Structure 1
């Protein structure tokens, strides 16, 4: 009997070991490709660089590849900010290098077809990769760190009352206050928002990476944001990596309305608008009591005749919005891909990457590219935004 009882436990251990080995092998393969492709294109291939250059280049790429996972674990696993900053920068830089090394290899093949011999062929391809990657890296860093431009969008909502026509909604999302100290950036965002004289300001989640205690200073300028009718906030998936309830409580302390599966009603010119919010779609899986995306609860008690603006972090939550007759959902999460061409991978997970889209006769979705950035301090062909959405009464054109 003893040996029979030991078998299930042994089976569990074997499956756990197999999963760990599979994960380690997958990570190893990804790292080998990310670092190996640019190493081969820039350092080896047919470049015929002096031996010293090849050795130095190999050491640099190997050292970065070996230290990267440890820095990621120390930074994002243990909360050591300097390690996060270093690992995130390496990740962004190597992704840009990898993408343009692949494109450089296509150029190498074109030169081969044109009859250009090595080492000239490989050196031209390597030079192309290095120059473009460096240029895009510097530009992408500046784009990530700058205060976002204002993106203006007009949305027609047939059920919107005339008194609310022209209502200005400003959306912030994915501020990701994190290991890089961006207090000055946060103040700049607040100044831009206030200059727009919004009626409603909405933050649609991923406010920070870290606890309230770690990011208090960076989030503090949110308390100075002004809105004529309401300041509202919902959680994103990153709040559930730290302390979601803590951020809900902190935003309330800063004077915002946390829409934790609830709604408020705003009124102007005798007409009313329901402003509702739901938790991020990942909330239920965290085991945090009372946290889940619950549209029915969020709309409980709302007049069904009134138009509804819904805050939901992920565009993927649009199906539930359609089912509950929402007029406009605003979301973030995608960052517009953040670093080209990552948006193709985002599109595999989300129905929309950015912009205004229609999902039923009634329901529209606006997906922001995000106000900040996550991880790598780069934005390449996916600019950040502070979104000013003007709501208009009347029929949607073409409907």
Structure 2
């Protein structure tokens, strides 16, 4: 395996696209979301015709008000300038709980009421109370299951990916992908070690981490990230930055990954050779890197491919799936990404689709370019995964099968 890098100036890269609809929406979400998440369930569960005794209504209302006030305060204290881990844990739990309560209050608040009415079950108050208990039961069950899903070691997802330009000598190349580990306020050093042990059982030629290693600086999360140094690959271990690195001193994470034996592909590439054939393994900084103000950090595909033979197949690491438009225009064969978490808590994936072209799995973009979007290995914020399981991915690259003539 040979190594090439570059220091091409930034002038040749296309300008960043205009801000998406999601970015515009995000300006107002901090004001709107807490109100919706807590007032809608409060109304459905307490004031939708149940006629609970006054102590029940008062206590329930107080809990919803506590969630409405406490959630944004805890999130700000936990993820803002203060970076308080306990506040981050509380904020994440409240955010996840509020989202699940909101979702199922809306769904069951409408659908179950209709079903009960059509079935002639109970009167108005009885139906309203059935809805309340159903929402609370479903919420409790999903949060318990979702927490277990978030904390377990991800299952391995295996798939073959055929690349038309891949030479026969590289057929069967094993690429392991982890991403969005999000080491954070909950200490997951043991989980991290078990994830790395699982990766090692895959006997991969190439192991990739496509960013969002942690929430917090490298110094602060070093113990949780340290097991990454035990990951084995027969050819290379490569890494690119995610957007969360740029909230927490990204260069510190680049330096730590280098120290742990990973190749930070910061707008550069490696050449992976086997059986007389060559694969270009390239990486770019996250698309948010330039706005971070860190010198030299930006997503620069032209720089990443500078010096590479344009006839060789290209495997690109880019944290966010939205980079696929530039990848397809640049002739990339396969892009590996994360970022979306598969939505993490259903049905949040519908909002993710506003900002990203893919949420999970393999998709085609243009005539040649494939994108694989991982649901992520860890979780961010709410310690829950509901109908969006985490994953460690093993992609087996395949060269085209020779056609058989009759």
Find the counterpart in structure 2 of residue 390 from structure 1: 396
Once the two structures are superposed, the pairs formed by residues 262-281 of structure 1 within 5 Å of their partners are 262-281=268-287
| Pairing partner for 1:55 from 38, 41, 58 | 58
Tell me the secondary structure at the aligned position of residue 189 of structure 1: helix
Find the counterpart in structure 1 of residue 101 from structure 2: 97
Instruction: Identify, as 1 or 2, the structure richer in helix.
Output: 1
Tell me the secondary structure at the aligned position of residue 119 of structure 1: helix
Whether 1:227 aligns to 2:227 is no
Deviates more, 1:100-109 or 1:249-258: 100-109
Stretches of structure 1 that go unaligned for 5 or more consecutive residues are 1-21
CA RMSD of aligned residues (A): 1.7
> Contact between 2:159 and 2:396, CA under 8 Å: does it hold in 1?
yes
| TM-score of the superposed pair, with normalisation by structure 2 | 0.90
Distance 2:212 2:128 in 1: 43
| Pairing partner for 1:191 from 197, 200, 206 | 197
Find the counterpart in structure 2 of residue 250 from structure 1: 256
Whether 1:301 aligns to 2:335 is no
Whether 1:79 aligns to 2:83 is yes
Distance 2:114 2:65 in 1: 26
Deviates more, 1:296-305 or 1:36-45: 36-45
1:72 CA displacement: 1.2
Find the counterpart in structure 2 of residue 336 from structure 1: 342
Distance 1:23 1:178, change over 3 A: closer
1:360 CA displacement: 2.0
1:25 CA displacement: 7.9
Tell me the secondary structure at the aligned position of residue 366 of structure 1: strand
Distance 1:301 1:87, change over 3 A: same
1:389 CA displacement: 0.2
Distance 1:370 1:102, change over 3 A: same
> Contact between 2:34 and 2:71, CA under 8 Å: does it hold in 1?
no
Distance 1:24 1:229, change over 3 A: closer
Find the counterpart in structure 2 of residue 362 from structure 1: 368
* Aligned residue-pair number: 376
Distance 2:300 2:67 in 1: 44
1:65 CA displacement: 1.3
Distance 1:211 1:157, change over 3 A: same
| Pairing partner for 1:108 from 110, 113, 128 | 113
> Contact between 2:342 and 2:376, CA under 8 Å: does it hold in 1?
yes
Distance 1:361 1:396, change over 3 A: farther
Distance 1:316 1:237, change over 3 A: same
1:37 CA displacement: 1.2
1:140 CA displacement: 0.5
